[in-house]
Structure 1
Amino acid sequence: MAVKFRKEKISIQNIGKQRFWIGIILGLFSAIIISLTFSYFRELFRFFTTLSADLLILEKSELQFYNYFFSSLATILGLSITVAIWMTNNNHKRRKDKIHKQLSRTNIYFTFWLILMMIARFGSVLPFILYGMPGYDNQLNLFEEYWLLFVLIPIVVFAQNWFIVRLVYHSAKWIFYSILICVAITFTLKTTTSINQEILNRAYYKKFESDYNYIDQQINKAKVEYGIDFKENTLETLKKWKTESSTKQVVNLKSAFSKDKKVSLDTIILQKIVIKNFKENGRYFRRNSIDNWRYAFPKDILRQLELYDIKSNESKELIEILKEQIYLINTPEIDWKEYDKHTDTEIRKSFGVKYNVPKQIIEQLEKVRDSLINDNKYYEISKDLPELKQRNE
Structure 2
Amino acid sequence: MNKPYFKKDKISIQNIGKQRFWFGVIAGLISAFTLSLIFNRMRETIRFISGVSVDLVILKEDEFLFFNYFFAALASSLGFSITIWVWMRSKIYQRKKYKRYKEQAKTQALFFFWTILFLTAQLSYLLLFVALAGVSSFDLPIDLYQDHWLLFVLTPLVIFLQNWFSVRLIYKSGLWIFYSLCISAILTFILYYTTTVNQNEINSIYFKNNKNAYEYIEKETQKAKKNYRIEFSENTIEILKQWNTNSATEQVRSLQQDFNKKESVNLKTILLEKISIHNYKYYNKYRYYNERNPFINWPYAFPKDILNQLNYFDINSNETKELFEILKELIILANKSKLEVKTPESTSYFNREKYNSEYKVNIEVIKELKEVCDSLKKIKKYAHLSKTLPEVKLNKTQ
Q: Which segment drifts farther, 366-375 or 287-296? A: 287-296
State the secondary structure of the residue aligned to 2:79: helix
Do 1:27 and 1:79's aligned partners in 2 also have CA atoms closer than 8 Å? yes
Runs of 4+ in 1 over 4 A off after TM superposition: 130-133, 351-355
**Structure 1 residue 388 corresponds to structure 2 residue 392:** yes
- Which residue is equivalent to 2:365? 361
Write the distance in 2 (CA, Å) between the matches of 1:221 and 1:187: 45
How big is the shift at 1:113? 0.7
**1:328 is the counterpart of 2:329:** no
Q: 1:6 to 1:131 in 2, by over 3 A?
A: farther
Task: Give the Cα separation in 2 of the matches to 1:101 and 1:243.
Answer: 52
Aligned to 1:305: 310
Change beyond 3 A, Cα 1:38–1:280: same
Alpha-carbon distance change, 51 to 130 in structure 1, aligned in 2, over 3 angstroms: closer
Task: Structure 2: state its 5+ residue gaps.
Answer: 339-354
Residue equivalent to 1:81: 82
2:120 corresponding residue in structure 1: 119
Shift of 1:183: 0.8
Partner of 1:340: none
Distance in structure 2 (CA, Å) of the matches to 1:374 and 1:83: 85
- State the Cα deviation string for residues 94-124 of structure 1 (Å, max 9, x = none): 4311221122111111211111111011111
Q: Specify the SS of the correspondent of 2:139.
A: coil
**Structure 2 partner of 1:336:** none
- In the alignment, which residue of structure 2 is the partner of 1:343? none
1:30-179 paired onto structure 2 within 5 Å: 30-92=31-93, 94-129=95-130, 133-134=134-135, 136-179=138-181
Map of 1:165-244 to 2, 5 A cutoff? 165-244=167-246
Q: Please tell me whether the aligned partners of residues 222 and 228 of structure 1 are also in contact (alpha carbons under 8 angstroms).
A: yes
Check whether the contact 1:35–1:70 (CA below 8 A) recurs between aligned residues. Answer: yes
Identity of aligned residues (%): 47
User: 1:214-268, CA deviations, whole angstroms, 9 ceiling, x for partnerless residues?
Assistant: 1111111111221211111111111111111111110011111111111111111
- Cross-structure match for 2:256: 254
User: 2:276 — aligned with what?
Assistant: 274
Q: Hey, what's the Cα distance between the residues in 1 that align with 2:337 and 2:121?
A: 44
Specify whether residues 92 and 134 from structure 1 end up closer, same or farther in structure 2 by C-alpha distance, changes over 3 A only: closer
Task: Answer yes or no: is the 8 Å Cα contact 1:292–1:356 preserved in 2.
Answer: no
Mapped to 2, the partners of 1:134 and 1:353 lie a distance apart of: 15
Equivalent residue in structure 1 for 2:378, among 356, 366, 374 = 374
Secondary structure of 1:169's match?
coil
The alignment's TM-score, normalised by the length of structure 2, stands at 0.89
- Aligned residue for 1:15? 16
Task: Please give the alpha-carbon distance, in whole angstroms, between the structure 2 residues aligned to 1:82 and 1:270.
Answer: 58
Q: Secondary structure at the match of 1:219?
A: helix
Distance 1:42 1:55, change over 3 A: same
Equivalent pair of 1:5/1:94 in contact (CA under 8 Å)? no
Paired residue for 1:316?
321
What is the one-letter code of the residue matched to 2:99? Answer: K
| Secondary structure, aligned partner of 1:330 | helix
1:352 to partner: Cα distance: 8.3
Size of the aligned set, in residue pairs, is: 374
Structure 1 gap segments, 5+ residues each: 334-350
The CA distance in 2 between the partners of 1:383 and 1:123, in whole Å, is 55
Q: How far apart, CA to CA, are the structure 2 residues paired with 1:146 and 1:392?
A: 54
* Contact 1:328–1:353, Cα closer than 8 Å, also in 2: no
Helix, strand or coil at the partner of 1:170 = coil
The whole-number CA distance in structure 2 between the counterparts of 1:282 and 1:168 is 64
Shift of 1:134: 2.9
Amino acid at match of 2:37: L
Residue 47 of structure 1, CA deviation: 1.6
Match of 1:290, SS state, is: coil
CA-CA distance at 1:50 after TM superposition: 2.5
CA distance in 1, matches of 2:268, 2:8: 76
Matched to 2:98, the amino acid is D
Q: Structure 1 residue 387: deviation in Å? A: 0.9
What secondary structure, in the 3-state scheme, does the structure 1 residue paired with 2:296 have?
helix
The two structures, once aligned, show a CA RMSD in angstroms of 2.0
| Residue type at the aligned position of 2:182 | L
Deviation, structure 1 residue 209: 0.7
Aligned mates of 2:87, 2:62 — CA distance in 1: 37
- Note the alpha carbon deviations across 1:348-378, whole angstroms, 9 max, x for none: xxx8897642222111111110011111121
The answer for the alignment partner of 1:286 in structure 2 is 288
Any conservation in 1 of the 2:331–2:390 contact (CA below 8 Å)? yes
Q: CA deviation at 1:64?
A: 1.3
| Cα distance in 2 for residues equivalent to 1:144 and 1:283 | 32
How far apart in 1 are the matches of 2:357 and 2:95?
80
AA of the residue aligned to 1:205: F
Q: Secondary structure, in 3 states, of the residue corresponding to 2:183?
A: helix
Q: How many angstroms apart in 2 are the aligned matches of 1:355 and 1:176? A: 61
**Structure 1: distance between partners of 2:331 and 2:280:** 13
Residue 24 of structure 1 aligns to which amino acid in structure 2? V
- The amino acid of 1:9's aligned partner reads K
Partners of 1:42 and 1:372 lie apart in 2 by 53
Rounded to whole Å, the distance in 2 between the matches of 1:279 and 1:383 is 27
Give the AA of the match of 1:366.
Answer: K
